[in-house]
């Protein structure tokens, strides 16, 4: 959810700098099941715009109506929405609606966390009672300080009966080694999820970042100069250059990387040949590096087109980082989000 919050802060700060006012709505608790889990947020601007969503679309109008008093009175408000009677989700969601004020210092420190891939926390203090409150609300907890959403002094946890703490990891990153059409498609789909996409192309490619909609960075390093910075447990690598020699050189460069997911495009025979050549060059390389490789990359959904292959790869990445075994939801026991 980090990328969603990042976008909301950007929209809010831009609107506030123009003299507008903003209200933030956060799902802080849930009883039963719902379309989305606690921690999801949406912005309401004083010009009537809504940015983001906390449900499939049924709750937003009610939140907008409830937010009118927050704009007027500048007081935090709690509301509930019982989906058992209106959504069919069999759950009750608790939503904290509060003024959202972004300062230049808060945005500066937050951007520093995004740039240097540092985690941070958002803590909400609330009561499940419906109504307006002066001593409840949310605050950002950054390395250099705490910033309350409403701008009032930092809220004491003693003042509320309930606490919702959300840990916000760095935005997920995808490193794509390759610059062909399927890499463009994967980049576009991954960026639509809010992932930060870095394209790593061979120096002989006649491409630029403009060729990859949604890409954050475009690099053309020599094989031995491929940067390892930023590759962590909140990132994935996919080799898809369509060149055996280029993929081998990339494999050599990435051998010490430890991403959450490492995928290789192409059939099993190509993978085995690639691994054999790699081991001949580096017989002392760690075995788990190759054992953890997902090759061929993607889930078996019968993908054929570039778009379908991208869906297959993204689905496998999600299943890995969420630690889920792919299966039909109709066969899953219990809650969808459990």
Average pLDDT over residues 26-32: 86
Average pLDDT over residues 262-268: 94
Element (H, E) at 66: helix 60-73
Distance CA 229, CA 124 (A): 33
Choose the CATH number for 173-321 among 3.40.50.11440, 3.50.50.60, 3.40.50.261, 3.40.50.720: 3.40.50.720
Average pLDDT over residues 122-140: 88
pLDDT at 100 over 90: yes
Candidate ranges 101-105, 123-127, 156-160, 187-191; pick with highest mean pLDDT: 187-191
Residue 276 tokens read as 């054999």
Q: Which residue has the higher pLDDT, 331 or 235?
A: 235
Quote the mean pLDDT of the chain. 88
- Quote the pLDDT of residue 337: 60
Reported as a single tens digit per residue, the pLDDT across 142-159 is 988 899 998 877 666 555
Q: Which residue has the higher pLDDT, 170 or 333?
A: 170
Reported as a single tens digit per residue, the pLDDT across 295-308 is 999 999 999 999 99
- Quote the pLDDT of residue 309: 95
Average pLDDT over residues 200-210: 89
- Quote the pLDDT of residue 58: 73
Average pLDDT over residues 254-283: 92
- Quote the pLDDT of residue 187: 97
Q: Which residue has the higher pLDDT, 334 or 200?
A: 200
Poorest-confidence range of 48-52, 160-164, 198-202? 160-164
Residue 194 tokens read as 């809010």
What's the DSSP call for residue 326?
-
Domain span(s) for CATH 3.40.50.720 in the chain: 173-321
Res. 88 pLDDT band, cuts 50 70 90: low
pLDDT at 132 over 90: no
CA distances to 24, 31, 68, 118, 193 from 64, rounded to whole Å, are 10, 22, 7, 33, 25
- Quote the pLDDT of residue 35: 64
* 3-state secondary structure labels for all residues of 129-189: CCEEECCCEEEEEECCEEEECCCCCCCCHHHCCEEEEEEECCCCEEEEECCCHHHHHHHHH
Q: Which residue has the higher pLDDT, 319 or 134?
A: 319
Average pLDDT over residues 95-109: 93
């Amino acid at each position: 959810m980090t990328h969603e919050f990042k976008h909301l802060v950007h929209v809010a700060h831009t609107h506030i700098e123009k003299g507008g006012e903003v209200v933030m709505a956060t799902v802080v608790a849930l009883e039963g099941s719902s379309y989305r889990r606690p921690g999801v947020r949406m912005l309401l601007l004083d010009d009537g715009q809504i940015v983001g969503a906390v449900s499939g679309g049924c709750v937003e109008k009610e939140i907008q109506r409830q937010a009118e008093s927050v704009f007027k009175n500048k007081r935090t408000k709690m509301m509930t929405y019982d989906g058992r009677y209106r959504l069919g989700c069999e759950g009750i969601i608790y939503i904290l609606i509060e003024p959202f004020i972004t300062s230049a210092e808060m945005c500066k420190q937050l951007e520093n966390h995004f740039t240097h891939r540092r985690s941070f926390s958002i803590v909400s203090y609330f009561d499940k009672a419906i109504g307006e409150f002066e001593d409840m609300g949310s605050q950002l907890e950054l390395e250099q300080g705490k910033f309350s959403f409403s701008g009032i002094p930092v809220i004491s946890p003693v003042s509320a009966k309930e606490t919702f703490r959300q840990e916000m990891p760095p935005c997920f990153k995808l490193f794509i080694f390759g610059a062909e059409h399927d890499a463009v498609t994967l980049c576009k789909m991954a960026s639509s999820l809010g992932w930060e996409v870095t394209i790593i192309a061979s120096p002989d490619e006649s491409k630029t970042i403009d060729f990859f909609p949604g890409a954050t960075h475009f690099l053309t390093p020599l094989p031995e100069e491929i940067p390892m910075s930023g590759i962590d447990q909140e990132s994935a690598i996919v080799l898809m250059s369509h060149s055996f020699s280029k993929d081998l050189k990339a494999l050599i460069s990435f051998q010490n990387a430890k991403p959450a997911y490492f995928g290789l495009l192409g059939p099993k025979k190509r993978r085995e040949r690639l691994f054999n050549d790699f081991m001949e060059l580096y017989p002392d390389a760690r075995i788990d590096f190759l054992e953890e490789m997902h090759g061929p990359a993607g889930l078996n959904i019968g993908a054929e087109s570039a778009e379908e292959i991208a869906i297959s790869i993204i689905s496998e990445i999600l299943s890995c980082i969420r630690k889920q075994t792919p299966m039909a939801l109709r066969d899953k026991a219990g809650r969808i989000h459990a």
